[in-house]
Each structure stands twice: as C-alpha cells, then as structure tokens.
A and B are shown apart, each in its own frame.
Chain A
Amino acid sequence: MHPITTFSAQIVALPVENIDTDQIVPARYLKTTNKVGLGDAAFADWRWNSDGTPKPDFVLNRPDVQNAQILVAGNNFGCGSSREHAPWALTGAGFKAVISTFFGDIFRSNALKNGLLPIVVDEDTLYQLFSLFEEDPATVVTIDLPNQQLVLPGGQRVGFPLDPFAKHCLINGVDQMGFLLHEDSMIAAYEARHPARVQTV
C-alpha cells in the first residue's frame, strides 16, 4: 500500500443516510475474481439506466464533479454486507476518502485496508460540507492525516478520530498481512497451548 499523508481534493456531496454496500456496489458486480475495473460499478443503480446510459440527475454524473476525490455522505455510510468490493469500487471511481458521521464497522475496516480514508465528523461539520458543496461544487478540502484534521476552505480545522494502528499503517504504507505474518512464533505458541477445537477434514 502507498503511504498517505496530506492531500487536497474536490468534494462531492451525497446527502443520503444509511447508504448500504448494496448501493455502493450491487451484488451482480460481485462475480469478478479480481479487484480491478469496479469503478463503473460504484453506485451503479443510481448512476446508470438499465441500457447503460448515465442518469443525468445523479450527482456523480455531473461534469463539474468528475475530479472529485472526497465523497461526503449522510449518516452511517457503508452498512450492510462485508463485500470489500465496496472500497474497491470507490477507489476505482477515483475516491480517496469518504466523510460521514459514522461508518459500518466492516466497511470501515475494509476501506482502511485499501487506502480509502473513512473520515468521521460531527453532524454540524457534515452539514457545513453539504452547504459548501451546494454553494460551490468546486470546493476543495484538505485532509491532513498526521494531524488528523480536515481543513475547510476558510482554513478552519476540524479534528477527526482515527485508531493509532490504522494511522500508522496508512502513513507508513504498512501492510497488515506482513504485520500478522511477523507474529508467527506467538501464533505457533498459542496453537501449541490450544489444540484445534474442530476438524473440517
């Protein structure tokens, strides 16, 4: 994973509550056996007509948001299924961060493993971002990861929580698999103390 520190990007607002993973990527796109090419599947049922033409009134189809890399979404983003295809689709569609008041647990964990930042803000900040976008769709914000701050256009800084380990992994590009593999001797010691509880073969 590439290290992430501070970046600025245009926002796009999707002020819908409880956006579930079936909206982020519908099940029929889950037949793939790799991670690439899911960008067009992001929000597919909101974005495309059944003949594949874009729905003009869906915000992500607007010409002026095509470079947006930060999605600002209503409360509780990413509830539902465990499909990691959801962050794969969002990063495939060019997003680097999603801002909401809270996230589904599995989505948040999956996003962090794919360099997609789930940024938690309070409701006031969320509504402020929605209005900023409404007033000026070209609004750019900065995400300062080392300081855990969101920098709004006027320079206002809003802190966001991030668990220290996730932060460490993001900033240093640490891969969690490598981290776990490194624990091999402790795992072996655990296994020696605890015989397997079940056998599947």
Chain B
Amino acid sequence: MPIPRTLFEKIWDSHTVRPQTEATPAVLYIDLHLIHEVTSPQAFTELRARGIAARRPSQTLATMDHSTPTTPRNNLGVIPVIDAQGAAQLAQLEQNCQDFGIPLFKLGSENQGIVHVIGPEQGLTQPGMTIVCGDSHTSTHGAFGALAFGIGTSEVAHVLATQCLLQSKPKTMEIRVDGQLGRGVTAKDIILAIIAKIGVGGGTGYVFEYTGEAIRALSMEQRMTICNMSIEGGARAGLIAPDETTIAYIKGRPRAPQGQAWDEAVAYWQSLPSDHGATYDATVVLNANELRPMITYGTNPGMGIPIDGRVPTVAQMPDASQRLGLEKSLKYMGLEQGQPLLGQKINMVFVGSCTNSRISDLREAAALIKGQQVAPGVRMMVVPGSQQVKRQAEAEGLHEIFRAAGAEWREAGCSACLAMNGDMVPSGEYCVSTSNRNFEGRQGPGSRTFLASPITAVASAINGVVADPREMLN
C-alpha cells in the first residue's frame, strides 16, 4: 500500500527536480510563471547583467495591471497614463518582454487584466501545476488544486533563468468548512471568518487545504476568492482539490488541453485529491451554518467581525501587545472600542481587485443595486478584473445598471486595491472595499478600509453607511 498523500504532497513530489536534503532546500520545477510590471524590472536587469536568456518564455505570461490607469479610454481607444514613473514602468515591461520573447497582455489589448484573473480565464491555471508570480495573491490559483504562491523579485529572476526555485517544504493545514452558507453569506465571508479566527500570522509556514461540504458547494470564482486571501492568514498558498466544478470551468478555455490531451489531463486531475488517511500538520474547523456576513474594523485582515457585531474592546484583548495593536488600529480608523459598525458613515465603495472582480461578483453586485441609487455623497467605483470580464459584463448590460445607480464603471486593473495608479481613497475617508487588505495607507495615505463582500459593499453604497446585505435580499 502506498503511503496516503495530501494534494499538496502529490504536487510537491511531482515537481521535485532535486529533493530537499539537510543542507539544501528542494529544487522545485515551476510550470507557469506570471509577470507584471511592478515586481519584474529588477529581475530582468539581473538576467541582462549575467547575460542569460529566459529559459522557458512559453511557460511565462506577462500582463499590465498594478500601475495601469482605469480611467475610460479616449476616442482613439487609448488610455492615457498620466504618471511618468508608472508609464516608464509599463514601457520597461514591454521592452523586457520583447527582448526575452515573453508574451504580454499589454494595456489596450483584449486580454489584459489583473494577473490572477487572467490565468484562470485563459485556462492556463490547471490542477496539479506549480504557478508563481511576484505577487503574494498568487495563492488565488490554488482554487484549481495548483500549488501557487507569491515570490520576491530575486526569485522572479531565478524562475526566468532556470524555471526553478529553491524551496523548503512547508507544513500543511487543513481548513475544513462544514455545513451550508446562509442567505447573504458569501465566500468572502468564509475567508474573513477564517482569518479572524486564526489571525494574520496563523498560517505562517503552512500551505492551507480548504475542505468540507461548504467549500465543495462553491463555484470556481468563489473558491478563488477564498484561496486569494490565504496569504492574509500568513499562508503562502491555499489549495482546493479539483472536482467536477473545476473540470467544467476549465473545459473549452483558450489554453486548456484538447482532444486526447484533455482526457489524459482529466484523468490526472482526478488522481490529485488528498488520499483517504492522508494527514495534515494542523486542522482548523468552521461551521458555515454559523457564519454571518463579515466586515473588518481594523488595519489588518484578521481584525474582522460579523457585520452586526461590535468592535472589540481593549479589555477583551488577551495580552499587552494586542491591546496596543487594537488601540493603534482604532486611532487610525477613527473608531471607538465596543461600537457597532452597522450605521457607520462611509465615503467610498470599491468593487474590484483579484479577490472580487470576476463576472459572478459583478453579477451579484449588479443584481442588488439594480433600480437603486448610490447614496448621495458616496463615490462607488466598479473595476472589472480583466478586459474579458468587462466585455462579458457589458454584454449582459451590467455596466448600465451600475451607471444608472450612480456608480463609476472603469477599465480593468488593480486600481484602488493598492492605489498605485491614482485611484485612491482620500485621507481620513472610509471605504467599504471588496479587496483583500485594509493595512494603513493601503488604499492611499490615510485611507480607512472596511473589507467585505461585494453584496455588503453594495448594500453599504446604497445606504451611505455600513449595512447588512441580508436586509436587502428578498
């Protein structure tokens, strides 16, 4: 009898070029390398300095997303990049891709979009693969049962040059979500609840595998929302075993296998789920039946509460450093300990980012806002994750629903998720955001972020205050 293995172990074993020893980490083969403008320039500089080529340009794909403007195009179809440094970075990426033979979805092309939205969209993200990108939310691709994680720029250079990385084997943590989600409770609420439970450092050193009835019931897009935020719990990667939902999603996509190769791939994918009897280094269990919509009140994604709950008090914190941490966060956020968040006045709503900018997110948001109005004084931005998502949404008329409600409909990109491109929350203002980080200054210097699901964001936009989406669903 072979030793039962987890999904993670199967992927790790099949990508080991050289096993880990006491003296050296494993050499791990990388199937797909994704690149964007912000974390790659210095890696290409390194390759040039050493006079080496990219080893596998055909296993590499670049896009422009982080510093790209999302303002509407002019009548020539051109999106003006206002900021000279941002423009230089985009030009540099284009040059690098040309020099090293790497395909690029550049600004203005029909496939451009957020790096973690386009991989799955193209059918490039497949079960059993190893996928890396100089971006911590590469964990998103784990929704397909691929081992996907973020790397630094030195490692981007390593992968460009050798298609490999030096890696020490991480530990595994099973996160099992039993039960069924109630109405108005979404995948975003599951992951915010998980991080609130384990804390932002709780998964450090681990790869998560999400299991259980509530996870199996999710669509691929919802699974991506969950895996996306694995890094906010400290885990570099999060995995969900492939199943019929996964296979149906990939089938027919531009880069998916076809014909006989498809049948072989499916057979392989079906062999990947963790074996019966395989063990994890740790296990966390949640019950979906008990979950309510979640929202964050503080300055890291672990500072989340059920939407109808109250901000914790300093006295409730278990130790001195957490008391200090809470005080510091609440001061930054301009909130009082023990206060409810329902009814808290807001200034902005951002629907977008690699967490929640896919077509299903936009459909849910549009369905709730249809026939309603964004409250006076509130600015709502809707930023599709990719040009493909944008086209699909427009084909369904979702953009008209958003515009009629008084929201802005913009071009694809990261936008106000990290505020590198001019889209930002003004200092001191509150934003309900569907993105993944509420760090100090994340959405612009002085910005104050409440992380929540798309429907919570919409409910709040309509009410002009933090609002419970369950009260608007009939």
A interface residue numbers (CB < 8 A to B): 15-18, 20, 22-23, 26-28, 30-35, 45, 50, 74-76, 79-84, 102-106, 109-110, 113-114, 163-165, 168, 176-177, 179-181, 183-184, 186-187, 190-191, 194, 196-201
**Could you list 17 A-B pairs, sorted by A, with CB under 8 Å?**
A27-B420, A31-B83, A33-B88, A33-B92, A50-B427, A79-B234, A81-B150, A82-B136, A82-B150, A84-B42, A104-B234, A177-B46, A183-B164, A187-B29, A196-B56, A197-B128, A200-B57
Residues of B within 8 A of A45 (CB): 440-441, 445
Residue of A nearest to B17 (CB): A190
Residues of A within 8 A of B285 (CB): none
A104 touches B204 (CB 8 A): yes
In the assembled complex, B360 has its CB within 8 A of some CB on chain A: no
In the assembled complex, B241 has its CB within 8 A of some CB on chain A: no
Residues of A within 8 A of B45 (CB): 33-34
Residues of A within 8 A of B46 (CB): 177
Other than the given A32-B41, A102-B201, 9 more pairs (CB < 8 A) read: A20-B300, A45-B440, A50-B427, A109-B155, A177-B157, A184-B162, A187-B17, A200-B61, A200-B124
B204 touches A200 (CB 8 A): no
CA distance A31 to B137 in the complex (A): 19
B42 touches A22 (CB 8 A): no
Residues of A within 8 A of B23 (CB): 164-165, 168
CB-contact partner of A198 in B124, B158, B200, under 8 A: B124
B152 touches A17 (CB 8 A): no
Residue of B nearest to A179 (CB): B166
Residues of A within 8 A of B24 (CB): 165
Residues of A within 8 A of B66 (CB): 30
CA distance A22 to B446 in the complex (A): 12
A113 touches B154 (CB 8 A): yes
A15 touches B321 (CB 8 A): yes
Residues of A within 8 A of B427 (CB): 50
CB-contact partner of A82 in B31, B56, B134, under 8 A: B134
In the assembled complex, B22 has its CB within 8 A of some CB on chain A: yes
CB-contact partner of B154 in A17, A84, A163, under 8 A: A84
CA distance A196 to B30 in the complex (A): 10
Residue of B nearest to A175 (CB): B154
In the assembled complex, B60 has its CB within 8 A of some CB on chain A: yes
A180 touches B27 (CB 8 A): yes
Residues of B within 8 A of A181 (CB): 52, 161-162
B418 touches A79 (CB 8 A): no
CB-contact partner of A196 in B27, B31, B89, B439, under 8 A: B31
B445 touches A18 (CB 8 A): no
B154 touches A106 (CB 8 A): no
Q: Which of A34, A50, A79, A187 has the most CB of B within 10 A?
A: A79
Residues of A within 8 A of B419 (CB): 27-28
